[in-house]
């Protein structure tokens, strides 16, 4: 259908004028060409420099942005590397500190155990010394009591008073020493 329209427009009019819609007349062609050239000159002289300037500015901005982005990327990579190195160093330091703390803790624990054992040994030694002192006091008190009882009994058996304390005391001591020797002999068996 479109082809028929163009063919009918290209055919000369039936009334005898040879004017066609598609082919302009010579004065229209000249004035149209002059107007076209003027618009073309204005576009080339005014519009194109502005467009070129805007495109150059845009290209520079894009290239500058790319350069800045690349520099920022390089700087970010350097900072990331520094951070990773610092992090690795911190982890190494943390491991070293943990190991040092374990070593120190073991040493402190061993020292505390040693101090506790020494304190326990000192307490046991003091207790044994106190027990031995109490035993000796009790033994001395017992000897004097047994001695006075023995003298009193011997006085009652003999029927006379044993008033010589030195003799009586020597006799009681000898008796108690013999008694202790018998007990030690029985304990060894």
User: Domain locations in the chain?
Assistant: 27-179
pTM above 0.75, yes or no: no
Q: What percent of the chain has pLDDT over 70?
A: 80
Q: Is the dihedral of CA 156, 161, 167, 168 positive or negative?
A: positive
Are 52 and 44 in contact, with CB atoms under 8 Å apart? no
Query: SS3 for 179?
Result: helix
Contacts for 150 with CB less than 8 Å, ≥ 6 apart: 172, 175
At 42-97, the pLDDT tens digits run 999 999 999 999 999 999 989 888 888 899 999 999 999 999 999 999 999 999 99
pLDDT at 6 over 60: no
Helices 165-188 and 48-158 meet at what angle, rounded to 10? 120
Cα torsion for 84, 90, 95, 99, to the nearest 10°? Answer: 160
Nearest by Cα to 149 from 166, 168, 132? 168
């Amino acid at each position: 259908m479109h082809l028929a329209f163009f063919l009918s427009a290209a055919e000369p009019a039936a009334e005898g004028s040879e004017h066609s819609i598609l082919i302009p007349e010579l004065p229209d062609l000249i004035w149209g060409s002059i107007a076209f050239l003027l618009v073309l000159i204005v576009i080339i002289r005014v519009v194109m420099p502005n467009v070129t300037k805007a495109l150059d500015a845009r290209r520079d901005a894009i290239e500058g942005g790319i350069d800045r982005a690349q520099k920022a990327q390089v700087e970010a990579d350097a900072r990331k590397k520094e951070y990773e190195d610092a992090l690795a160093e911190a982890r190494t330091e943390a491991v070293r500190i943990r190991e040092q703390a374990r070593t120190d803790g073991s040493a402190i624990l061993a020292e505390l155990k040693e101090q506790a054992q020494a304190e326990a040994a000192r307490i046991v030694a003091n207790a044994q010394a106190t027990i031995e002192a109490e035993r000796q006091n009790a033994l001395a008190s017992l000897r004097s009591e047994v001695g006075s009882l023995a003298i009193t009994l011997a006085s009652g058996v003999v029927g006379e008073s044993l008033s010589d304390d030195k003799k009586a005391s020597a006799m009681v001591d000898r008796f108690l020493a013999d008694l202790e020797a018998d007990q030690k002999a029985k304990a060894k068996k």
